[in-house]
Every structure is written in structure tokens, then in C-alpha cells.
Structure 1
Amino acid sequence: MARLSHPKKELEEALRHAEEQELRVEVGGSRAWGRIYCPYNDEECRCGEFCITSIWSTPKNTSNHARALRRVVDNCTTHRNQYKTNDGAKE
């Protein structure tokens, strides 16, 4: 089943980016629109965000929130290390 799309276009693009990188996006929660979960339950993988990031429904600045979500995805240490090892194997 497909998830609900976010009403803010920039945030929806950031969520699609997260899903492309194999992070799980769950809609719902008590205070947030949803959450992004890192797929790696690893001691070294803490992403500076403890592998869970809240997605706000109406952030004060949509662009900054979308950029922050992308930064969490792109700075995931375990994901980055796996990407490097897979990239090195292709060469």
C-alpha cells in the first residue's frame, strides 16, 4: 500500500529522496505528520539524529525543513559506507 503524500511539494520530494535511499517513511504520530526511520540498526549508525527524524506537517520554513530531511538521509554514516563499498566493487 502506498503512503499518503505530503501536502507540501518540497517535503514530498525530500521524502521520495529518503525512500529512494531505502529509508522507511511512516505517516502518523501524535505531534508530527510522520517519521523517517533509518533501516540500519547499527551502533555506528547514529546519523547525528538517532536514526529517527520527525516530519512536520506545517513547518515554519518548508525549504529549510526539506533541506534538513535530505541532510539526515545523505549524512547517514552506515548508508554512506555501504554506498562507497558498493561503488568500489563496480569499478
Structure 2
Amino acid sequence: MKAMTSGEKVAQLEARIAELERLVGILTRERDSKPPAVYGPLDRTPTLPGWPMDPKPFEPVFPLPGAMPTCGKCGITLSPVMGYCCSRTDCPCGLGGVTCTTTA
């Protein structure tokens, strides 16, 4: 197989560029000749009264600065630290220990 000279490579690339430009022209004319898409009644969202609805107001996930959640029964202050345990079984915060009773 004979090695291509730089002139032959350039000619081959120019021919490929011309072919690609021709294809781009064909595709552009084909795209421009198509009519715009027409959407039927199922392709769009129906208009409903009261829509769009206003979003709910922002509700902070964590307490506001200066406010610390505390237990109403024992007064323990709950910070973002995990691992709290309450000795009360009726803890309103859900931190009470688990009690198991068995009947024999």
C-alpha cells in the first residue's frame, strides 16, 4: 500500500468536507420544508380553575435561631445531636425506652 502524500490527504479531506456540506444542506432544506408540529387536545394540559396554585409558604425544617426544642415533661433540650434516650416510658418526644412484657 502506497503512503499518501500531504497533498493527497488535503484533497481527500476537502472532498469529504464538500460531501458533508452537501448533506447538511439537504438536511436543512428537509427540516425547513416540514410544517410546524400541531398539538392535539391530548398533547396539552387542560386549563383548570385555580391553577397554577400558589406554593405553600416556607416551613423551616430546623428550629429558628434562638429557639431550641424541649420536652414538655422532663425539659430535656433536643439539639441536632442524635442518640437521646429518656428514662420515661411515656416520653411525648418518642425517646422513651422500650419495655417488654412477657406472660408465662
Same fold at TM > 0.5: no
Which structure carries more relative contact order (alpha carbon 8 Å, separation 6+)? Answer: 1
Under a length normalisation based on structure 2, what TM-score does the superposition of the two structures give?
0.21
Q: Which has a greater percent of helix?
A: 1
